[in-house]
Amino acid sequence: MKYQYWNEQFEKMPRPDLESWQLQRLRAVTATALRTPFYRERLTKAGIRNEAGIKSLEDLRRIPFTTKQDLRSGFPYGFLSIPREEVVRLHASSGTTGTPTTIYFSRDDLSRWTSFVARCIYGTGCDKTDVFQNMITYGLFTGGLGFHAGGEEVGMLVIPSGSGNTARQFRLMQDFGTTVVHATPSFLLHVESRMREEGVRRESLALKRAFAGAEPYSEDTRRRIEGLLHIDVYNSYGLSEMNGPGVAFECQCKNGLHIWEDGYIAEIVDPQTLEPVADGETGELVLTILCREATPILRYRTRDLTGFYTEPCPCGRTHRRLRRITGRSDDMLIINGVNVFPSQIEEVIMAMKEVGNNYLIVVEKDGALDRLTVKTEVGPEIFMDDARPLNALRDRIRAHLQASISINPRVELHEHGSLPISEGKAVRVKDTRPRDL
Ligand code: ADP
Ligand code: ZN
């Protein structure tokens, strides 16, 4: 395969050079962070009074972690490190787990962010001959404008379609010959489900690739989307605290996400002890942003669970690869004392051909016990009025789930296209159990 690089010098930089670059940047962002009230207090307490306090990359571990709670406590301007007049944009997280947090960008921050996103896009084989439909929410969410700018930087024709409205999405794809799209994996599945109803033939589309991210999904979901739409799907990972998209992305090898180590320092720690895990083990991803001056964030606990691949990538990039992010440590459900990650359920059902493209996990109280119900749509070829095959399918799903999660769930089958879909990130879990205070 012939690989293409947006910034070959940095993407293939030998590790020792990459590490000296990181050290130099880490010292610079430490100096920047010391200008914010939050880090001035935190870093001084940790004995770091100026950038000279960082002598080697190991000194990173002297810096305390930053949590989402810390960011909220600094709302609105506690993490701003440049004069307000130098800020040209703000973004906010989607607020999946509570009050959103705000991130500020200077003009240079925006251009650095854009070049990281361009690097990701170009690395999948796209170039200025492509037509790029950005089917994701615009606005405060970083996925819209982030990919928009990156796509323009590569020179593609960018269609800012936003998410939702599948009929219009198909029309745009057909009118302008869209070759690449960006969306959440759940929206891509929804688009595929709607094709038949909208009377759209695959042959009428020029689609070749999709970037899918913003929420966790399994390898089986990727394969399903690729098989149904006949495209290549690339995993895209980012978070607003670290600019948004452009943090880690798959190259054409589609085997792990290169995390751009000239822009970020990645650590993987045990979420309980906060000590680094052994190489290749799973833990919580902790990120330090090296490429932003307006809002420095050091050692941010993402809560996202992943690990490093240890072997080098055939594409020649020297930046390490993250395994698919399976979810956040706080996604874990405890059902009658058993720990279950929604991703385990997704993996089981998306691997079953007869199951449709949408599902919902419901957890409720049933007396003293917890009850898990998995609602899934059936594929378009399955009729809901034929009880026998439906019962057999339901039993099979239940058996597969029980084997994977050690809990016997209720399984409900729903007609193709009947479960609700959300415009932004998919809401896959409805947990109605009262919370302990
Ligand atoms: P929020 O934290 O409110 O959801 P963001 O919009 O910043 O706000 O979302 C970032 C989060 O989305 C990440 O921390 C991660 O949990 C999730 N995410 C983003 N991309 C992926 C991906 N490719 N795979 C799994 N999870 C992802
Ligand atoms: Zn690679």
Q: Can you list the domains of the chain with their CATH numbers? A: 1-330 (3.40.50.12780), 333-431 (3.30.300.30)
Residues with CB under 5 A from ligand 2 (ion): 251, 253, 313, 315, 317
Atom of ligand 1 nearest to the CA of 248: 23
Distance separating alpha carbons of residues 417 and 242, to the nearest angstrom: 35
CA distances from 417 to 204, 342, 353 (A): 22, 21, 16
Atom of ligand 1 nearest to the CA of 100: 3
Residue to mutate, 120, 124, 141, 237, ligand 1, most ligand atoms under 8 Å from C-beta: 237
Atom of ligand 1 nearest to the CA of 236: 23
- Identify the residue whose C-alpha is closest to ligand 1 atom 10: 239
139-178 pLDDT per residue, tens: 999 999 999 999 999 999 999 999 999 999 999 999 999 9
Query: Which one of the ligands is nearest to 254 CA?
Result: 2
Q: Indicate the pLDDT class of residue 329, thresholds 50, 70 and 90.
A: confident
Q: Does residue 117 register a pLDDT over 70?
A: yes
Atom of ligand 1 nearest to the CA of 216: 25
Distance separating alpha carbons of residues 357 and 371, to the nearest angstrom: 23
Atom of ligand 1 nearest to the CA of 212: 23
Q: How many A from CA of 334 to the centre of ligand 2?
A: 36
Average pLDDT, the chain: 95
- What pLDDT is stored for residue 200 in this prediction? 97
Q: Which amino acid is at 27?
A: R
Instruction: Report the candidate in 71, 147, 73 with the shortest Cα–Cα distance to residue 102.
Output: 71
Whether the upstream peptide bond of residue 76 has omega within 30° of 0, thus cis, is yes
**Global confidence as pTM:** 0.93
- What pLDDT is stored for residue 436 in this prediction? 60
Average confidence (pLDDT) over 120-146 = 97
Higher pLDDT, 383 or 308: 308
Distance separating alpha carbons of residues 348 and 335, to the nearest angstrom: 18
The single-letter DSSP state of residue 229 is H
204-251 pLDDT per residue, tens: 999 999 999 999 999 999 999 999 999 999 999 999 999 999 999 999
Distance separating alpha carbons of residues 402 and 397, to the nearest angstrom: 8
Contact status, residue 243 vs residue 234, Cβ threshold 8 Å: no
Q: Do β-strands 131-134 and 180-183 pair in parallel, antiparallel, or remain unpaired?
A: parallel
- Protein residues whose CB sits closer than 6 Å to any atom of ligand 1: 93-96, 141, 213-216, 235-240, 302, 304, 325, 328
Q: Does residue 136 register a pLDDT over 80?
A: yes
Q: How many A from CA of 390 to the centre of ligand 2?
A: 43
Q: How far is CA 38 from the centre of its chain?
A: 27
List 104's β-bridge partners, or say none: 90
409-420 pLDDT per residue, tens: 999 999 998 999
Residue to mutate, 236, 239, 264, 328, ligand 1, most ligand atoms under 8 Å from C-beta: 239
Contact status, residue 398 vs residue 411, Cβ threshold 8 Å: yes
Q: How many A from CA of 239 to the centre of ligand 1?
A: 5
Residue to mutate, 304, 329, 331, 347, ligand 1, most ligand atoms under 8 Å from C-beta: 304
- What pLDDT is stored for residue 243 in this prediction? 98
Q: Indicate the pLDDT class of residue 125, thresholds 50, 70 and 90.
A: very high
- Identify the residue whose C-alpha is closest to ligand 1 atom 27: 215
Atom of ligand 1 nearest to the CA of 68: 2
- What pLDDT is stored for residue 422 in this prediction? 82
Higher pLDDT, 330 or 195: 195
Distance separating alpha carbons of residues 18 and 15, to the nearest angstrom: 5
